[in-house]
Structure 1
Amino acid sequence: MDSNQNTVQFDFVKDKKDLTKTILTDVYNSLIKKGYNPVNQMVGYLISGDPTYITNYNGARALVRKLERDEILEEVLKSYLDIKK
């Protein structure tokens, strides 16, 4: 039995941000490895919603579809504007 009685705090916002960054980084790297322009491909996906803009290589298409496009855009915009919320 675990003797650690401390309460673990869950930070959904931070975890969501970290997950989004990890997934986008993995998708970016998969697109690079397949010879695509990753920014153009990812923008195409975000604008159109068509998952075929993302390669299946390394499961990148399935990964990116775990996130909602509006949530991706929200995190990208917050990061670009350096908003901490």
Structure 2
Amino acid sequence: MSSMDNTMKYTVPKESNEPEVRQTLIEVYNALQDKGYNPITQIVGYLLSGDPAFIPRHNNARSLISKIERDRLLEELVKVYLAQQRSE
């Protein structure tokens, strides 16, 4: 049996709390919007690549987002999205 047949369990380290992650994403979103970028595509680019160049230094956005692990950001985005879908 190959490892592709087994389900792996992933656990995200709980280094930062939800309000901090949400506030960081909001601040980064606003900084991207201020600079005229499409915030969604820029954040996706950052999450997929890990390259901080997708996030501007404007309003300290690059520094803020770099303090939070990408897997933690993804976890929060998925959690909020799915909670919203369940409430509709």
Asked if these proteins are the same fold (TM beyond 0.5), I'd say: yes
TM-score grouping bracket, smaller chain normalisation:
0.7 to 0.9
Query: Deviations 1:16-44 (Å, cap 9, x if unpaired)?
Result: 11000000000000000000000000000
Identity among equivalent pairs (%): 49
| Alignment-derived partner of residue 39 in structure 1 | 40
The residue type paired with residue 68 of structure 1 is: E
| Alignment-derived partner of residue 30 in structure 1 | 31
Q: Tell me by how many angstroms 1:58 deviates.
A: 0.7
The residue type paired with residue 73 of structure 1 is: L
Higher RCO, Cα 8 Å, sep 6+: 2
The structure whose Rg is larger is 1
| Alignment-derived partner of residue 61 in structure 1 | 62
Question: Does residue 17 of structure 1 match 2:21?
Answer: no
Mapped to 2, the partners of 1:77 and 1:32 lie a distance apart of 22
Runs of 4+ deviating beyond 2 Å? none
- Structure 1: gaps spanning 5 or more residues: 1-12
RMSD after superposition: 1.6
TM-score (norm 1): 0.78
Q: Tell me by how many angstroms 1:61 deviates.
A: 0.1
TM-score (norm 2): 0.76
Mapped to 1, the partners of 2:62 and 2:81 lie a distance apart of 24
- Structure 2: gaps spanning 5 or more residues: 1-13
Q: Tell me by how many angstroms 1:51 deviates.
A: 0.2
